Amino acid sequence: MAAKQRDISISEFFAKNRHLLGFDNPRKALLTAIKEAVDNSMDACEEAHILPEITVSIKQLTEKKFTITIKDNGPGIVSEQIPNIFAKLLYGSKFHSLKMSRGQQGIGISAAGMYGLLTTGEPVQIISRTDKRKKASHCHVQIDTSKNKPLVVLDEDCDFDLPTGTQVTITLEGKYQKGKQSVDEYLVQTAMANPHATIIYNLPDGSVYEYKQQSKKMPFVPVEIKPHPYGVELGLLYKMAKESTSKRLSAFLHHDFSRVSSNMAGGICKKAKLSKNARPASLSLKEAEVLHTAINETKIMAPPVNCIGPIGENELEQGLKRTVEAEFYAASTRKPSVYRGNPFLIEAAIAYGFKTAQNKSNGDGDDEDKQVQMELKRFANRVPLLYQQGACAIHKAVGEINWRNYSLSQSRGTLPMGPMVLMVHIASVWVPFTSESKEAIAHYPEIIKEIKLAVQECGRKLGIYLRKQKRIRQEMAKRGYIETYLPYIGEALQEILLLKDKQVETVVSRLKEVLEKTRQL
């Protein structure tokens, strides 16, 4: 065995475990590769305060082989960075910063390129321009999986039709299929959660969809924050102290964490019986443990929340209206909250009574509406999540709500029945995904509680609407009965009061007039 021991490169590991990154089958692989590139384009544009204009093209080369191209009008990538970004796993600008962004791991686009290389042998092709006065860089790069290092196959200057931007082309084994977990669905939902973006989509059959920008308002541009002391575990605190550039313990606490004033830092050192002038780098593990306890015994303000931005109630409703034609809409955005020291925020929006379901169930009527289950659309930092719904904290929270309180039928722990779409969005500086493929949110109790509160707020508004609609329907039914029986009432009156036919007609038409007036009221 000793002779067999050797290093395993991260790329070899993920090449074998590609399902961990969302490349388990050809259909999902096509979606994941496009998703990684589009998410990066959106992040890059927003970071540079540019309203995103993104073109996604899929070309089918053979039955299983596809070429995808994603082009953006972002700031571009400096040519020296291109090989590492596209052909080295765990390389990126977002992992080390606590900032709300779609990407966070530094693995997405290089994994897509690696999957393309493994399945078709083709390198990733990139054109990127960072300055309108200069030519663009055109590179072909591929990953050396045994070393997790990039190999540059081609590097030259070229023309590009945008002043700045990036175009990525990957050839890969895939399968194009419409439906719930398709590229089409991902792009529709992306348009829903990003009203500030324009997305042009060239389908493999030659047709084009265009999701035009709905709002010229740049979404909230997030700022980076430092970790909150409550979210830092002992091992990390020890490591941060060792790596800190601060010379004194109190300065380390004040500068490397959020919400620790220099006064408070002094207080924490005193509580831990450590000198505030001690060198953080020479802290022993025992001392770090005492410091950790002292931190958790000190009352520290919650982390700043200006680092996360919601989509907004208006924008959420607009987003829903863009794709779902319904009779009732409601939205609700919660105030930011904190899990493990990380700020996060939940928002929800509901569209009830959408046309397709109504058609399916032949118009109104409670009983028929109950045949369809609610459609749940999950988003994390404005990215639609299409897989692993059952494993997601959003699904768990929505299933645990008692929807019967809002006049909807529901079996215990499942999604309620009704022709409706529910959108739930979590925005956070670090979204706790259950795996590297970023498909489901982990079950943190603080997150589940906030999801429930946001959805319940929408549910209450829906309940009020549904009860009102029910009252109106009952009223109409009552009037219907009266109208049906009106001629018989006339006949009975004739018999009782010995009225003439003419008089009966007058009584009946008078009653009809009264009914019509009350209906208009």
Ligand X SMILES: Nc1ncnc2c1ncn2[C@@H]1O[C@H](COP(=O)(O)OP(=O)(O)OP(=O)(O)O)[C@@H](O)[C@H]1O
Q: Enumerate binding residues for ligand X (CB under 6 A).
A: 36, 40-41, 44, 72, 74, 77, 85, 92-94, 103-110, 166
DSSP 156: E
The whole-angstrom separation of Cα 365 and Cα 149 is 62
40 binds Mg ion per the rule CB under 5 A: yes
92 vs 341, beta carbon nearer Mg ion = 92
Contacts to Mg ion from residues 107-146, by CB under 5 A: 108
Reduce the DSSP state of residue 1 to 3 states and report it: coil
The whole-angstrom separation of Cα 463 and Cα 362 is 22
From residue 83 to residue 112, what is the string marking binding to Mg ion with x (rule CB under 5 A)? Answer: --------------------x----x----
Contacts of 63 (CB under 8 A, 6+ apart): none
429 vs 455, beta carbon nearer ligand X = 429
Residue 136's binding partner among ligand X, Mg ion, none (Cβ under 5 to 8 angstroms by kind) is none
Which residue of this chain has its Cβ atom nearest to Mg ion in the complex? 103
Report which secondary-structure segment, H or E, holds 200: strand 198-202
Burial call 59-86: b when 16+ CB within 10 Å, e when fewer: eeeeeebbbbbbbbbbbbbebeebbebb
CB of 197 to ligand X, least distance (A): 13
Contacts to Mg ion from residues 393-412, by CB under 5 A: none
CB of 86 to ligand X, least distance (A): 8
381 binds Mg ion per the rule CB under 5 A: no
Residue 85's binding partner among ligand X, Mg ion, none (Cβ under 5 to 8 angstroms by kind) is ligand X
Phi and psi at 255, nearest 5°, equal -90, -30
CB of 380 to Mg ion, least distance (A): 13
CB of 69 to ligand X, least distance (A): 12
388 vs 410, beta carbon nearer ligand X = 388
Phi and psi at 414, nearest 5°, equal -115, 175
Q: Token digits for 112?
A: 């897509």
44 vs 331, beta carbon nearer ligand X = 44
CB of 66 to ligand X, least distance (A): 20
Q: From the CB of residue 19, how many other CB atoms can be counted at a distance below 10 Å?
A: 14
CB of 379 to ligand X, least distance (A): 15
Residue 150's binding partner among ligand X, Mg ion, none (Cβ under 5 to 8 angstroms by kind) is none
108 vs 419, beta carbon nearer Mg ion = 108
* DSSP characters over 327-392: SEEEEEEPPPEEETTEEEEEEEEEEES-HHHHHHTTS--HHHHTTSBPEEEEEETTEEE-S-GGGS
Residue 93's binding partner among Mg ion, ligand X, none (Cβ under 5 to 8 angstroms by kind) is ligand X
Residue 30's binding partner among Mg ion, ligand X, none (Cβ under 5 to 8 angstroms by kind) is none
CB of 202 to ligand X, least distance (A): 18
CA 76 to chain CA centroid, Å, is 24
Q: Which of 394, 383, 376 is nearest to 36 (CA)?
A: 383
Q: Which of 311, 305, 274 is nearest to 292 (CA)?
A: 274
Size of the site for Mg ion (CB under 5 A): 3
41 vs 318, beta carbon nearer ligand X = 41
CB of 39 to ligand X, least distance (A): 6
Residue 33's binding partner among Mg ion, ligand X, none (Cβ under 5 to 8 angstroms by kind) is none
SS3 content of the chain, % helix, strand, coil (to 5): 45, 20, 35
| Chain residues in the site for Mg ion (CB under 5 A) | 40, 103, 108
